[in-house]
Structure 1
Amino acid sequence: MEERSPRAVLLTGGTGFIGSFLGLRLLEEGYYIFFLVRKAEKDSRSRVLERLSKISYLTARKYENAWEIVEGDTSLPFFGIDKAKLNELKNKVNKIFHCAALLSFDPRNKDKAHKINIEGAKNATELALLFNVELHYLSTAYIAGDRRGEIKEDEFDEGQSFRNVYEKTKFEAEKVVRSWGDKGGRYIIYRPSIVIGDSETGLAFSFTGYYMVAKFFWRYSKFFKRMEGKKFHFPIIIPVVKSATLNLITVDAVVDAIYKLSQKTESIGRTFHIVHPNPPKTSFVFKNSINVFGFSNVKIWLVPLYILRLIAWIGWALSFLFARIGYSFRQQISTYVPYFDGSSYFSYKGVGEVLGNSYLPAPIDVDVIKRVLLYAKENKFSDIKN
C-alpha cells in the first residue's frame, strides 16, 4: 500500500472565490492538492490554472506540478468519484477542505441550494469517514440568522429564524457536519463574515454580499452622471444606523486564518468565527463606497435602528405600486437591510485563543475599500468565469 502523504488534500470549490485563494496558499505551504471539478467542465485544468494565475502568476506556475484534477460532483455520494480514483485518494489524501457552496439568497434556488449545500456537506462527511481524515468545512457566520447581540463560536441552534435560503441551507449543512463529529468524525468549521477582495490587489472572483450594495451605488452614479446638466438635482438620502458596524473581511485574511487554524491540533472539533476584530462603521463604508464612484448627490442620514426599520417597511409597502421594479426593490430590502442594522456582534474568542497575535486582518480603511471597489468596477461587478 502506498504511504499516505501528510501534505496532500482534496479541495472542493477550488475555482470559487475563497477556495481558489486557499488552494494557492496550500500550494505555497507545500501541500499537494487534488482539485475536485465537475465532470461536465471542459479544460478544467486550464481553468484552475487560470484562476490561480490571476491571484499570483509566478506562484501558480511555480507549483504547476503540485496539483491535479479529480472529476466529480459534490452533490453525489462520495462526490461522484469513480471507485479506482477513490482507492487512490484514500491512500494519499490527509485532509478534505470542503469550500464548494451555492451563495444565493433567491428563494427560487431553494432546491439547488439544498442539493449543493446540504447534500454536499453530507457527502463530504461520508468521504472523510471513508478516508479517515479531517474535514475542514467552510460555513458562514450568518447561520446565526436573525439573532441579535453577541454570537459565540460554540453556539449553533439557538432557535433563530433565517432570512434567506443561503442562511437556512448553510445552517442545515453545518448541522450535518456537527452530527458527524458527534459520532467521532474530526472536523473544523470556519465561519467567515462578509468577504471582500484581496487587501493588496482588490482581486475577487465573485461579487456577492456587500458588492451587491456597492453595485447599487455604482449603477445610480452612472445614471446621475447621464443626468448632469438636466433639471434633476435632488439628493438621494440613504439611512444608516448610527452605531452599526459592517463586518467586512478581506479574502486573504480569511485564508490566512483558515490555514493557520487548520495546522493546530487544538482546532479539531471546534468552530471559528473568521471575522474582523475591528469592523468599520456602516456609515464609513457607505460614504467611502459612494466616493469611489463619484456619486456626489448622495447623503448619509444617521438614524436609530427603529427609524431604519420603519423606512424599510414604508419602502416595502410603496413598492407594490411599481410592478416589476417594485418586486425587485422588495427583494433588495428583504435581502440586504437586515445585514446593515448593526444588531449582532460575532465573538472571535476561539480564534484569539488558538492564533493569538498572529490573527491580524488588514484594516478596512479608505484604501482597501477603494481598491476592492475599483476592481469590481473594472469588471462591471460581473463574476469572473476564468
Structure 2
Amino acid sequence: MNILLTGSTGFVGKQLTLQLLGQGHSVYALARNKKKADNLKASVPDHLQDRLYMVEGNIAEDMAGVSDEQIEQLQGRIDTVYHIAAYLSFDDREKDQLFHINVNGTRHILELAKKLHVKNFFHVSTAYTLGDQLHAKEELHSLERSFVNYYEKSKCEAEHLVFEYKDDFHINIFRPSIIVGDSKTGEAESTFALYGVIRSFQLMKRRIERQKSATPEKIRFVCNEKAAQNLVPVDYVVNVLVAGLEHAEQNKIYHITNSHPPSNAFVFELLKSELDFYGVELVPTTFEGGLTDQELKFNEPMRVFQEYLKKTLHFDDSNTQELLAKSHLQPLDLNERVLRTIISGKVNA
C-alpha cells in the first residue's frame, strides 16, 4: 500500500513508519521542515529508503500545506492516511493552539485526503476523550460533558469531525492511552507523563545527594497509590495500528489500552528500585499536612497530571481484542519484567 502519515517524525509516527516500510508498504511522510525530514530519513535503514518519500507540509495550513504540484502527483496514489500529528499540552492557556492544531489541523488533513481520493482514513486520537467519566466505551463521546483540560476537549471535537467524513472514505479512530517505551528495549522518545515522573525523581535524588547532610525524612509525592495508570508500550500501539490496515471494520473505534494497568504504588516501587532512591513516599491528593518548599518543587512538574494520578479509568477494548485475534496478535501483557525494562530504559539513557 501507499500510505501517507502525519506525525511521522514523532515518537509513535517514527516507529509506525519503520514497521510499515519493513512490511513492504511505501510511506509518504508529511514533514514541516528539512531538519525533521532528515532526522526521519536517518532512522530508516538503507535497504528501506527507496520506499520512503518525504512530503513537505504543515497540518496547521489549508490542505495541510501541501503544494498544488504535490497534490497532483499524489492524487489517486494514496491508499491510507494515518493522522497522528497533534499538539499535546495540558496547559489551558494554550487553548487556541490546541484547537487550531488538533481540530483545524484534522480538518485540513481530511480535506487533503478527500482531494487525494484515499480509501482509508485512520485517526490516531487519545483514550482520554471521556472527560470526567470513569469508564469509556469504544464509541464517540458526547461533547456535552466536562473535560479535565482543553487537550481532551480538542481531541474529542476532532473525533466528531472525522466522523463527518464517513461517507468519503473508510474511517477508523484509534485511541491509545499513556504511551511509554518499547516493551523489548525500553527505547522511548518522550518526556511526558511517566517520563516526567522519572525526571523529577532523578533531579530530587541529585539534589539530596548534593546536600551532603544526614539522611532527610522522606520526600512526599502527591499521588493516589491505589489508582492505576493505563500504560501501553509504543510497539503494542504500532502493532494495533498496522493490524487496522487489513482488519479494521468501517466506522469502528479502537481503544489501544491496558486491560490490567499497574497501580501507582507498583510503578513507583519499580522506579525507586531502578533509581536506588527510596527516600520518597506517596501521599494522597487529600493530604493536608502541607508540603515543604522542596516538596513543592518536586511535585510541580506533575501538577498538570494530578487529575490522572488520583483515579483509575476503565477502557472497554472489545473491538481491539477482536482486531488482535483476527491478526493473530497477542493481547498486551505489561508484566513486571516489561515495565522494569521500560523504566530502566529511561533511567539508564
Alignment of 1:1-386 (within 5 A): 7-38=1-32, 41-50=33-42, 52-53=43-44, 60-133=45-118, 134-148=120-134, 150-157=135-142, 159-181=144-166, 183-228=167-212, 230-238=213-221, 240-241=223-224, 243-264=226-247, 266-300=248-282, 308-311=284-287, 314=288, 332-333=302-303, 335-356=304-325, 358-379=328-349
2:200–2:298: 8 Å Cα contact kept in structure 1? no
Unaligned runs of 5+ in 1: 1-6, 54-59, 302-307, 380-386
In 2, Cα distance between the equivalents of 1:32 and 1:184? Answer: 23
In 2, Cα distance between the equivalents of 1:238 and 1:130? Answer: 51
In 2, Cα distance between the equivalents of 1:89 and 1:168? Answer: 33
Report SS of the residue matched to 1:272: strand
Unaligned runs of 5+ in 2: none
**CA positional deviation for 1:49:** 1.8
Q: Deviations over 1:84-129 (max 9, x none)?
A: 2101111211111111111111223222222211111111211222
In 2, Cα distance between the equivalents of 1:255 and 1:91? Answer: 26
The structure-2 alpha-carbon separation of the partners of 1:166 and 1:126, relative to structure 1 and needing over 3 Å to count, comes to same
Report SS of the residue matched to 1:135: strand
1:289–1:369: 8 Å Cα contact kept in structure 2? no
In 2, Cα distance between the equivalents of 1:337 and 1:275? Answer: 20
Letter in 1 for 2:164: S
2:200–2:301: 8 Å Cα contact kept in structure 1? no
In 2, Cα distance between the equivalents of 1:104 and 1:239? Answer: 21
Deviating more after overlay: 352-361 vs 160-169: 352-361
Letter in 2 for 1:74: I
Fraction of identical pairs, as percent: 28
Q: Normalising by the residue count of structure 1, what TM-score does the alignment of the two structures yield? A: 0.82
How many residues are aligned here?
A: 347
Letter in 1 for 2:322: E
**CA positional deviation for 1:184:** 4.4
Report SS of the residue matched to 1:263: helix
Deviating more after overlay: 188-197 vs 238-247: 238-247
In 1, Cα distance between the equivalents of 2:210 and 2:332? Answer: 36
In 2, Cα distance between the equivalents of 1:74 and 1:222? Answer: 41
Report SS of the residue matched to 1:140: coil
In 2, Cα distance between the equivalents of 1:377 and 1:42? Answer: 31
Letter in 1 for 2:255: H
Q: Normalising by the residue count of structure 2, what TM-score does the alignment of the two structures yield? A: 0.90
The structure-2 alpha-carbon separation of the partners of 1:103 and 1:367, relative to structure 1 and needing over 3 Å to count, comes to same
